[in-house]
Structure 1
């Protein structure tokens, strides 16, 4: 499953059902650039278990503010629209997979 770019307008819809990992990022953020390829791999390998969406915090400040995102990258894991986990900063692939698998 491909990673979906989301906006303030469709964030709630895109994270409302199933298991969804939302990546709050910005183009100028070094750690965000590092985690991008890791999320691509996870999306390819776990696509049927978790949907991954990306929200550019510079362009979508309402959603970032709503969830209290102060540092990026911040990853919020939603299950049927409810936050079940939060990961701040770069994490290796294995650590992210472990956190996701706790909620599959």
Structure 2
């Protein structure tokens, strides 16, 4: 993975999905995130971070549970939520920062 801070410092919103392979709700969020990406296209970057493979990163960003979603805009955290999130909510949040 390229440098995380470079990725989140993009001008466009970057949605980070902190997930784990063993997490049921994380698996349920995958198709929702794909729909969000399909709908928004280049307006957003969506990256998935496996907390088991990236424990230092998860710890640095204080991810305590999965899934945890964090939206960055120009390197600043503008929104964060743990647990399942509805597609409409994700779309409206990303659009409010686009």
TM (norm. structure 2) is 0.92
State the Cα RMSD in Å. Answer: 1.1
Does 1:78 find its partner at 2:72?
yes
**Bigger Cα displacement from structure 2, 88-97 vs 21-30:** 88-97
Q: Which has the higher helix share?
A: 2
The residue number in structure 2 matching 1:14 is 7
Shift of 1:17: 1.0
Shift of 1:88: 1.0
TM (norm. structure 1) is 0.87
> Structure 2, unaligned stretches of length 5 or more?
none
Does 1:53 find its partner at 2:47?
yes
List structure 1 runs of 4+ shifted beyond 6 angstroms. Answer: none
Shift of 1:45: 1.1
Alignment equivalent of 1:94, drawn from 88, 94, 97: 88
> Structure 1, unaligned stretches of length 5 or more?
1-5
